[in-house]
Chains A and B, each alone.
Chain A
Amino acid sequence: MKHVKTLNTKKLQSTVKKGGCGECQTSCQSACKTSCTVGNQRCENR
């Protein structure tokens, strides 16, 4: 595309089928203990 650069290739919709294994890190066990930060957790089931 000339006018658009899309940064990601994985769509959130595609994670509905195989997601939900629950093995990824709990957000408050990473660096924060006061602000819920889920979006930067790593998927364990890529």
Chain B
Amino acid sequence: MVHQFKNNGYDIVLDVNSGAIHVVDDVTFDVIALFESHTEEEIVSALSDRYDPAEIAEAIGEVTALRDNEELFTEDVYEHHITDFKKRPTVVKALCLHIAHDCNLACKYCFAEEGEYHGRRALMDYETGRRALDFLIENSGNRKNLEVDFFGGEPLMNFDVVRRLVAYGREQEKKRDKHFRFTQTANGVLVDEAVMEFANREMDNVVLSIDGRREVHDRMRPFRKGQGSYDLIVPKFLKLADSRGQERYYVRGTFTHYNTDFSADVLHLADLGFRQISVEPVVAQPTDDYAITEEDLPVLFDEYDRLAANMVKREREGNAFHFFHFMIDLEGGPCVYKRLSGCGSGTEYLAVTPWGDLYPCHQFVGNEDFLMGNVWDGVVKESLRDEFKCCNVYAKEKCRDCFARFYCSGGCAANSYNFHGSITDAYDIGCELQRKRVECAIMIKAAEAELSGIAGAEIVEEEGNNDEEK
């Protein structure tokens, strides 16, 4: 399968099954579109009104070489490998610890419903958390790197337990030859010097929740009495980001139907001084007033293009920042098994409630149909685990013809379930946005590469594309 697209002045060809990405000139771009279904003579004839026949023949030669070198028009040969891979014993390597089902903000789009997850307010006690870490170690097989994310609600409402659990984990990793990677989310309200010192010492990554411009942030992320939280959190987040050397953190925002011009929010965060930025589309039911709609998609596509072009410009000016959804590692990215099997929810990744129940992931918490067991008895609903184990790109009809399937790996099971009642479907708006992001990410790589001699490979500044806030 081959995907061809033009973005920001670049002609790009993605060979889906090999992952090869080619930046080409116009003649080659047009040759590739005809290559599989036409003879050489037919291609020359079809394109000779636009290009010199000698150039066409040369392009055909190069396309043929790419094909022969298995970098173009490659077959999908992975399906039987994933079957074997899934036969391996299931291990657990990552837990999302819901350390606090409570929150000091009342964010309007919160899938945790202000921290309560359709249930009661609760904080995880130390004993339950400790048992969760033991459960993880006991079920991790020969995996060395174990991940524990302190999530909520607002994790810092239970900071003392977080500290004690990290201490316990550090103690255990020496005894049991494991390595814990702790991460945490914070809304900023309770961040202080002690939290920063602890996070910088112990946390592999911290995710700092902020949506962007003050009015955008304060509309969706108010305190319970309605007051905005932007002014309180921004100075703290800036200090924390600097204290970590501007690494191993993300400021993480959500955009909604109310700020479809979200590139302005991303650039606002960059202009504030943040260098690691993730701003993601809200996932909401169509009945929610802030939900992203089909009609929003063309606007959002333009926004991603605008953002990508602006990032290229800033990179060239020495003012670069990272945008999580545009990050793509062309040399050291994940292996094909990872790309096919997806996020690991319900198998190697589980969520733990404050009272020790296990769910396939944080998004399923509160839906009793997905209760898998608990940290004392382990996974008791094995049929559910098996269902998630079989959830991969080959189990999803919508993924079969999608060029982005090896980048999103089938997408989010929870989103699929929430929109279609099945974990093997796909959340269609999310897919549309994912495909656009993959194209933008590849375009940025094309711009970063040395492209001298490739026709058309020059940055074209789009109208209205500038650093100014809207």
Q: Decide if A and B are genuine partners.
A: yes
Q: List residues of chain A with CB under 8 Å of any chain B CB.
A: 1-13, 15-16, 18-46
**B252 x A43 contact (CB < 8 A):** no
Q: What are 8 A-to-B residue pairs whose CB atoms are below 8 Å?
A: A1-B65, A5-B450, A10-B330, A19-B337, A28-B149, A31-B324, A32-B324, A42-B332
Is there an interface contact between B408 and A36, defined as CB atoms closer than 8 Å? yes
Asked if B358 CB lies within 8 Å of chain A CBs, one says: no
Known contacts A19-B336, A28-B349, A29-B149, A40 near B328 by CB under 8 Å: yes
Interfacial residues, chain B to chain A (CB-CB below 8 A):
17-25, 27-28, 58-59, 62-63, 65-66, 70-71, 74, 77-78, 81, 85, 91, 93-94, 96, 111, 143-145, 147, 149, 151, 181, 183, 185, 205, 207, 250, 252, 254, 276, 278, 280-283, 324-325, 327-339, 342-345, 348-349, 361-363, 406-412, 415, 430, 433-434, 438, 441-442, 445-446, 449-451, 453-454, 457
- Complex A-B, nearest 7 residue pairs according to Cβ-Cβ distance, in ascending order: A19-B335, A39-B407, A15-B335, A8-B330, A20-B337, A12-B19, A38-B409
**9 more A-B contacts (CB under 8 A) besides A3-B62, A9-B331, A38-B409?**
A3-B58, A8-B20, A13-B77, A20-B338, A31-B276, A35-B283, A36-B409, A40-B407, A41-B338
Chain A, Cβ-Cβ closest to B413: A36
Residues of B within 8 A of A35 (CB): 280-281, 283, 325, 408, 411-412, 415, 430, 433-434
A12 in contact with B406 given A3-B24, A7-B445 (CB within 8 Å): yes
Select B147's contact among A15, A20, A29, beta carbons within 8 Å: A29
**Do B330 and A39 touch (CB < 8 A)?**
no
**Other-chain residue from A3, A22, A43 in contact with B332 (beta carbon distance below 8 A):** A43
Contact of B324 among A12, A26, A37 (CB under 8 A): A37
A40→B408 CA distance, assembly (Å): 9
- Whole-angstrom distance between the Cβ of A1 and the nearest chain B Cβ: 5
Note all chain A residues with C-beta closer than 8 A to B339.
12, 38-39
Q: Compute how far the CA of A41 lies from the CA of B22 in the bound complex, rounded to whole angstroms.
A: 21
- Please give, as numbers and ranges, the residues of chain A lying within 8 Å of B93 by CB-CB distance: 22, 26
CA distance A44 to B27 in the complex (A): 39
Q: Distance (Å) between the CB of A24 and the closest chain B CB? A: 6
The reply to whether A29 and B331 form a contact with Cβ atoms under 8 Å apart is: no
Q: How far is the CA of A12 from the CA of B276 in the complex (A)?
A: 27
Q: Is the CB of A39 within 8 A of B281?
A: no
Interchain CA distance A1-B454 in the complex, whole Å: 10
Q: Indicate if the CB atoms of B344 and A7 lie closer than 8 Å.
A: no
Q: How many inter-chain contacts with C-beta < 8 Å in the A-B complex?
A: 220
Q: Who on chain A is nearest to B81 by CB?
A: A16
Contacts of A34 in B (CB 8 A): 111, 254, 280-283, 363, 412, 415
**In the complex, chain A residues whose CB is within 8 Å of the CB of B94:** 26, 29
Query: Is the Cβ of B28 less than 8 Å from the Cβ of A4?
Result: yes
A21 to chain B, nearest CB (A): 8
A38 and B407 in contact, given A2-B58, A3-B62, A13-B18 (Cβ under 8 angstroms): yes
B168 to chain A, nearest CB (A): 19
Determine chain B's interface SS by DSSP, over half rule.
Answer: mixed
Identify B330's interface contact among A2, A7, A21, A22, CB under 8 A: A7
Contacts of A11 in B (CB 8 A): 18-20, 70-71
Q: Are A40 and B333 in contact (CB under 8 A)?
A: yes
Which residue, B181, B205, B412, has most C-beta atoms of chain A within 10 A?
A: B412
| Candidates B62, B74, B338; contact of A38 at CB < 8 Å | B338
Given contacts A10-B330, A15-B335, A22-B93, contact A28 B283 (CB under 8 A): no
Complex: chain B residue closest to A11, CB-CB: B18
B17 interface neighbour in A12, A27, A30, Cβ under 8 Å: A12
Assess whether B147 is in contact with A8, with CB atoms less than 8 Å apart.
no
State in angstroms the CA–CA spacing of A23 and B91 once bound together: 11
Chain B residues within 8 Å of A31, by CB = 205, 207, 250, 252, 276, 278, 324
Q: Which residues from A are CB-within-8-Å of B361?
A: 28
B408 touching A32 by the CB < 8 A rule?
no
The answer to whether B78 touches A46, judged by C-beta atoms less than 8 angstroms apart, is no
* Choice from A4, A6, A24, A32 contacting B338 with Cβ under 8 Å: A24
Given A19-B336, A26-B93, A43-B332: A5 and B454 within 8 A (CB)? yes
Q: Of B183, B324, B336, which contacts A40 at CB under 8 A?
A: B324
Q: Smallest Cβ distance from B201 to chain A, in angstroms?
A: 19
Among A10, A15, A39, the one with the most B-chain Cβ atoms within 10 Å of its Cβ is A39
A31 CA / B280 CA spacing, docked (Å): 10
Most central of A19, A31, A32 by chain B CB within 10 Å: A31
A5 and B343 alpha carbons, distance in the complex (Å): 32
